[in-house]
């Protein structure tokens, strides 16, 4: 089965993760895909396919005779889709021999415009997969799941020699909880790759340092007719707080290695409100500066509004994996060589985000990220390229072969 066929199958399983819940995993649908994958891994003949109490799927492919001394290599992808846009009732659509123009989706008047996404020119003549416009597709990261499964099938069916492979599919990556209960020692890999990126051949080993900041503001609420010199409007105070942050340090005005403050959510009334920011920077020093700026802004606002209450809570999420991969650059070199052997031009670029691999690298499992052949993640214009997905399977097979040697 081709990886794109598996993607279309997995995409129809509702696995959207959810914020603000204590459940593990955050949504019950992730169990459905986990059990499906365990059944498929059993059918393929992997060793001990199972899903644990935290909805982490694991399985192992023992080394073929003569390859037992090769380093155990891990391959990981995540099963959930982002809560940023609906992942329910996904209906994949195949667009064969793409003509290079706009892609009109049948639902909600949505169009994937070639002028908005210049990368589409390079996909002309290929087979693209989208959703119908009412949901995201879920290539992030069911494309990665599909590619790892297809690799396992190929290695077994074609009796290709390989070292020990450690396979894992995790829940809740999109809400930052994927590795919370991951047992690196039991997994048994010496090195690993997440398959959770964009274009085929992309290789990522630098990511943002990341934190979440919550600003709680309690105002002074009185009747507006008698509010003079008494009322402290929490919503207006929130605006003042945001105005103290650098106006150009936002996602819409930054790129590459540039960090940002992203006001992700805001709720409240004149009496009280809260804001949630995500804070990102590749440079650890600048990351520390950004977090300190939030504290100074809170102090300044509190001083200006002494009868109100302003509190900021900052919690680190993950760190730049580059620091942990500096002594394992063979992972990057082999990924580049594997892409070249597959006829794909490798591109090494920083992630403007993070992956499970960032946290796993700090947990003792060096783990850069590879592309999946998916694009426009987290929204209704998401798509995947069937031929690029085939190429990713080839790249993974080449990586396995390079480590076998």
pLDDT in tens, 141-161: 999 999 999 999 999 999 999
354: pLDDT confidence band, cut at 50, 70 and 90? confident
Q: How far is CA 146 from CA 21, 40, 150, 176, 265, in A?
A: 28, 11, 6, 21, 33
pLDDT at 238: 98
Average pLDDT over residues 182-196: 97
- Residue 353 pLDDT greater than 90, yes or no: no
On whether the CB atoms of residues 297 and 310 are closer than 8 A, the answer is no
The structural architecture, per CATH, of the domain 209-318 is 2-Layer Sandwich (3.30)
Residue 196 falls in the annotated catalytic set: no
Answer yes or no: CATH 3.30.930.10 is held by domain 3-207+320-404: no
CA 363, CA 359: separation in Å to the nearest integer? 6
SS3 per-residue string spanning the chain: CCHHHHHHHHHCCCCECCCCCCCCCCCCHHHHHHHHHHHHHHHHCCEEEEECCCCCEEEEECCCCCCCCCCCEEEEEECCECCCCCCCCCCCEEECCCCCCCEECCCCCCEECCCCCHHHHHHCCCCEEECCCCCCCCHHHHHHHHHHHHHHHHHHHCCCCCCCEEEEEECCHHHCCCCCCCCHHHHCCCEEEEEEECCCCEEECCCCEEEEEEEEEECECCCHHHCCCCCECHHHHHHHHHHCCCCCCCHHHCCCCCCEEEEEEEEECCCEEEEEEEEEECCHHHHHHHHHHHHHHHHHHHHHCCCCEEEEEEEEEECCCHHHHCCCCHHHHHHHHHHHHCCCCCEECCCCCCCHHHHHHHCCCCCCEEECCEECCCCCCCEEEHHHHHHHHHHHHHHHHHHHC
CB atoms within 10 A of CB 330: 15
CA 242, CA 310: separation in Å to the nearest integer? 13
pLDDT in tens, 65-75: 999 999 999 99
The neighbouring-strand residues paired with 59 are 167
**Residue of 16, 172, 173, 204 with catalytic role:** 173
pLDDT at 169: 98
What proportion of the chain, given as a percentage, has pLDDT over 90? Answer: 97
**Residue of 16, 80, 140, 356 with catalytic role:** 80
pTM for the whole thing?
0.92
pLDDT at 1: 94
What proportion of the chain, given as a percentage, has pLDDT over 70? Answer: 100
- List, edge to edge, every strand of the sheet that includes 260-268: 260-268, 272-281, 209-218, 309-318
pLDDT at 172: 97
Residue 173 falls in the annotated catalytic set: yes
Q: How many CA atoms are closer than 13 Å to the CA of 269, on its beta-carbon side?
A: 5
CB atoms within 10 A of CB 19: 12
Q: Tell me the backbone φ, ψ of residue 42, rounded to 5 degrees.
A: -65, -45
pLDDT in tens, 209-254: 999 999 999 999 999 999 999 999 999 999 999 999 999 999 999 9
Would you kindly state where each structural domain of the chain is located, as residue ranges? 3-207+320-404, 209-318
On whether the CB atoms of residues 173 and 77 are closer than 8 A, the answer is no
On whether the CB atoms of residues 232 and 379 are closer than 8 A, the answer is no
- Residue 20 pLDDT greater than 90, yes or no: no
Q: Which residue has the tokens 């802004």?
A: 297
pLDDT at 19: 87
Instruction: Work out the mean pLDDT of the chain and round it to a whole number.
Output: 97
pLDDT in tens, 322-337: 999 999 999 999 999 9
372: pLDDT confidence band, cut at 50, 70 and 90? very high
**Structure-token pair, residue 69:** 């001394």
Average pLDDT over residues 39-59: 98
């Amino acid at each position: 089965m081709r990886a794109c066929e598996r993607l279309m199958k997995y995409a129809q399983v509702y696995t959207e993760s959810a914020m603000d819940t204590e459940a593990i995993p955050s949504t019950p649908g992730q169990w459905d895909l986990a059990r499906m994958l365990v059944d498929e891994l059993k059918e393929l003949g992997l060793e001990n396919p199972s899903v644990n109490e935290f909805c982490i799927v694991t399985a192992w492919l023992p080394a073929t005779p003569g390859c037992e001394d090769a380093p155990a290599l891990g391959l990981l992808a995540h099963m959930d889709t982002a809560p940023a846009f609906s992942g329910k009732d996904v209906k994949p659509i195949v667009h064969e021999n793409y003509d290079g123009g706009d892609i009109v989706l049948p639902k909600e008047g949505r169009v994937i415009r070639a002028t908005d996404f210049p990368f589409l020119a390079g996909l002309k003549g290929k087979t693209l997969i989208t959703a119908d416009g009412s949901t995201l597709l879920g290539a992030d990261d069911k494309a990665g799941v599909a590619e790892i499964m297809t690799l396992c099938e190929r290695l077994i069916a074609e009796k290709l020699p390989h070292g020990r492979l450690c396979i894992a599919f995790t829940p809740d990556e999109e809400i930052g909880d994927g590795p919370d209960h991951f047992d690196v020692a039991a997994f048994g890999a010496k090195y690993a790759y997440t398959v959770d990126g964009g274009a085929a051949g992309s290789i990522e080993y630098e990511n943002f340092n990341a934190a979440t900041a919550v600003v709680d503001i309690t105002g002074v609420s009185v009747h507006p007719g008698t509010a003079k010199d008494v009322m402290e409007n929490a919503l207006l105070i929130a605006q003042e707080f945001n105005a103290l942050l650098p106006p150009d340090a936002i996602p819409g005005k930054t790129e590459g290695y540039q960090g940002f403050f992203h006001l992700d959510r805001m709720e409240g009334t004149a009496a009280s409100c809260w804001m949630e920011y995500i804070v990102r920077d590749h440079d650890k020093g600048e990351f520390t500066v950004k977090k300190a700026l939030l504290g100074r802004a809170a102090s300044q606002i509190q001083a200006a509004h002494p009868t109100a209450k302003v509190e900021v809570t900052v919690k680190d999420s993950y760190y730049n994996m580059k620091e942990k991969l500096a002594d394992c650059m063979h992972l990057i070199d082999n990924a580049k060589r594997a892409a070249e052997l597959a006829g794909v031009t490798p591109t090494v670029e920083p992630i403007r985000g993070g992956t499970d691999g960032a946290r796993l690298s700090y947990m003792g499992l060096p783990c850069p990220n590879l592309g999946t052949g998916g694009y426009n993640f987290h929204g209704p214009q998401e798509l995947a390229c069937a031929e690029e997905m085939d190429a990713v399977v080839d790249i993974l097979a080449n990586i396995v072969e390079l480590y076998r040697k």
